Chain A
Amino acid sequence: MPRIKSLVHSLRFGGITGLAALMPLLPGSALASEAPIHNGASQVAITLTGDKGGSCKLDHDAAKAGPVTFKVTNKTATSINEVELLSNDRILGEKENLAPGLPTVGFTVTLGGGKYQIYCPGAAKETVAFTVKGKAVKKSGTVANLFADGTKGYAHYVDGVVDAMVTAVGQLNAAIQAGDIDKAKAVYPGSRAFYERIESDVDGFVLPGFKATDNAGNLDYLIDMRASNLDPAVGWHGFHAIERDLYQNNAITDGTKKLAAELYANVKKLDELAGKLKYQPEDLANGAADLLEEVQTSKITGEEEAFSHVDLIDFAANIEGAEQAFAFLKPGMEKIDPDLTSLVAKQFANVHKVIETYRDPKVPGGYKVYTAALKASDAAKLSKIIQALQEPLSKISEKVATAR
């Protein structure tokens, strides 16, 4: 499991010059009051109240360069539940789950000289200027760099998965060309997992010479279309048409052989295209969210593998793909929002605990067959554990998008 080992621990944020024009200075900023220093850090109190449609006030709107501790208290503001420290729209630190009555919470960041903003979504005036006086700090080990490393690492992961898919589909094709239905059924379940790990990254590919709206040139359609979404003008291709032949018709025909050869060719085309992909951090976050949507809409419903009922293999693969994307964002996310990061990590762990209970080494592909009875008894449990992951995970995209 590739993960980034070289965490950069120092957290120093670049002071940004030339930003003055972006934030209009407050009338009182000439009289900015500088935060006192205790325990080696400047101390700034942020108070949220319900006054005037929600207000977000700082006791000091300036500090000396160095560590700054922000302590946030929500007294009566029902419309505000988070506060962020921004530098030119990049999130440097934040606190969520602020609500009236909860104890004061704080976060500390080391800031160089420059202009910053305290962002209180839901307040009547959402942004408050904050100034740090002193030397600007050079960018080093920034969150942006951590994310850049993460996206590169994730690209390698996708390459590896697609390479492995070419091999697995090659074996499936070979078994089908040889007319060996037992072998084909032994290989099919295992061949599914690769596409399901990365499908959110590759579902937009259109072959050269085709319009974006023509399914005949849509690689995702040609590889993974299910019976429920067929386009009669293009017909059925790919994994699930083969699945129907193997598990419902229980026969390999010339048509099956043609489908298998075509699938193998299309997977190789996918391999070429996937190698050229570049990712932004939010692509990883959105891709992970899309894979969880896939779990909800087609795996837990048993729609994906309607004939072979190997949906739990795809379920586990979707989760693995989502978790990999998250893992590559994690070093940067921990700097921005450690609470959210640990909650998402915890929910992934919960999902794993549940998936493990469905393992069955005797079944090809390694997971229990998702029978109608198993679906009836377990689908709600599976859906709920994914819901608990989906909600916090959906918050990641905006955090990482701002870090570029």
Chain B
Amino acid sequence: MNDDAVEKTGEKAAGGMHLSRRGMLLGAVAGGFGAAIAPSHAEAGSSSKASTGSDDEIDLDRSIPFYGEGVAQAGIHTPPQRHILYMTFDLTTTDQRALQVLLARWSAAIAQLMKGEPIGQVEPERQGAVGFDTGEALGLDPASLSVTVGLGPRIFTEALGLADKRPPLMRELKQLPSDAFRPELTGGDLSLQACCDDQQVAYHAVRDLARIAKQTGVAQTRWTVMGFGRASAGKGQTTPRNLFGFKDGTRNIVDDEDFARHVFIADGPKWQHQGSYQVVRKIAMHIENWDTDRVSDQNAVFGRHKVSGAPLSGTYEFETPDFAARDANGDLLIPANAHIHLAAHENNGGIKILRRSYNYTDGINAVGQLDAGLLFISYQKDPAQFETLQERLGASDGMNEYISHIGSAIFFVPPAPREGSYIGEALFSAQT
């Protein structure tokens, strides 16, 4: 083990480990590359090696800064990493000071983790001591880990003395058509979204942060999802596929202008500027039924061609869909209940949300079916943006036959802390 660590360190010193997903996995991929990394916000990446042109390249040596001034937390604007470990927590205290300690301890630990450093001693010298860090990420690179902390609706209550710090638009999501939530997969007072190009690094981060929550007596785990194969594209990334086999995120938000318009809060109390609302849905897919559906019907459900990703009104993935186009019989090329028809900003008064979803599997369910789906995560400056879209989708999306929204939660994600501070510090100070 120690030898491994030494070897790994040596390798890191020699320039890190670089895996190109293009070179590694995809012999040939149609178009879409070439966009240079243009980091902004908190996630201006640092790497010992200059980036070579595409965010689709995995550079395990890359680390993302945690601290920042007047910017969003990492993990929103950050180009989606390959894996996620998402967990929510229930508060076990109404002591405001205890919550403050947890957020400060979490922030310090996340700063360490995102650098690829342990959060403390793994093998303490002192007799009888338990480790500060659990150790399974020793020798692993940061792999672009980002850990994003969210605060649930019940944080901003009288019980904690934080009612006056409630972000103006913070509330529980309203009930929407086709909601089929299981209580054990729903809600939470705190959330951690750990995204990383190395699954073990993401797991270690959340595990050790959950441990701090228990050590400080502040919070307890509620539900968690481990996801893979990012199912939403970021800037410069080829559009990945969800477990339906379709490209997901072709029309996702990528431009800073859209981030400013739809994602990051810039008004109201100063402490919420560059914050955002995180909506999470655990969406189970009825995989077996989907797999036995004819592809022409699958295409009609999405409104796109499965392989190319092109809208049914066109030929290329990034063509703007023509929702009015009809075939020779006078039928809409993109059916009115197709997923993209209902979700498009053109048909929703210009509303957009940032999607940052991942595929998940929980193995095989109690009735012997593949238990898998999409961990849908969206960011928006107003929860109503999500509600407006989901209200339409939940009511009439052709996809509803093949999915169930089984879990849901909403969190306010405060801005990144500056160095020497911590996430949510403004909640505990006098300023408003």
Q: Which residues of A contact B (CB under 8 A)?
A: 50, 74-79, 81, 97, 99-102, 121-122, 282, 285-286, 343, 346-347, 350, 384, 387-388, 390-392, 394-395, 397-398, 400-402
Contacts and interface: CB of A to CB of B under 8 A. Distances in A.
B112 A78 contact: yes
A101 B422 contact: yes
B157 interface: no
Given A79-B117, A388-B92, 4 more contacts: A387-B220, A398-B126, A398-B128, A398-B129
A78 B108 contact: yes
A401 B130 contact: no
B111 interface: yes
B421 A100 contact: yes
A101 B132 contact: no
B107 A122 contact: no
A384 B126 contact: no
Contacts of B420: 75-76, 100-101
Nearest to A76: B420
Contact of A401 (B100, B109, B127): B127
Contacts, number: 97
Interface string B392-432: 00000000000000000000000001011110010000000
21 contacts: A50-B419, A78-B112, A99-B101, A99-B108, A100-B107, A100-B421, A101-B107, A101-B422, A102-B422, A121-B132, A122-B120, A122-B121, A282-B127, A347-B217, A387-B214, A388-B220, A391-B211, A392-B215, A395-B130, A400-B128, A402-B126
B104 A78 contact: no
Interface of B: 92, 100-101, 104-105, 107-109, 111-112, 117, 119-121, 124, 126-130, 132, 211, 214-217, 220-221, 417, 419-422, 425
A79 B215 contact: no
B111 A78 contact: yes
Contacts of B111: 78
Contacts of B119: 79
A373 B61 CA distance: 49
B127 A78 contact: no
A274 to B, nearest CB: 23
A100 B422 contact: yes
A286 B127 CA distance: 12
Given A99-B107, A395-B130, A401-B128, A79 B211 contact: no
A296 to B, nearest CB: 13
A15 B109 CA distance: 36
A50 B112 CA distance: 11
A285 B128 CA distance: 9
B425 A388 contact: no
A76 B124 contact: no
Contact of B124 (A78, A97, A121): A121
A-B residue pairs, 10 tightest by C-beta: A99-B104, A398-B129, A397-B128, A391-B214, A401-B128, A78-B111, A78-B108, A101-B422, A99-B108, A398-B128
Contact of B105 (A99, A121, A347, A402): A99
Contact of B419 (A76, A397, A398, A400): A76
Contacts of A74: 108
A398 B127 contact: yes
A66 B290 CA distance: 77
A394 B126 contact: no
B112 A79 contact: yes
A70 B129 CA distance: 24
B367 to A, nearest CB: 18
Contacts of A346: 217
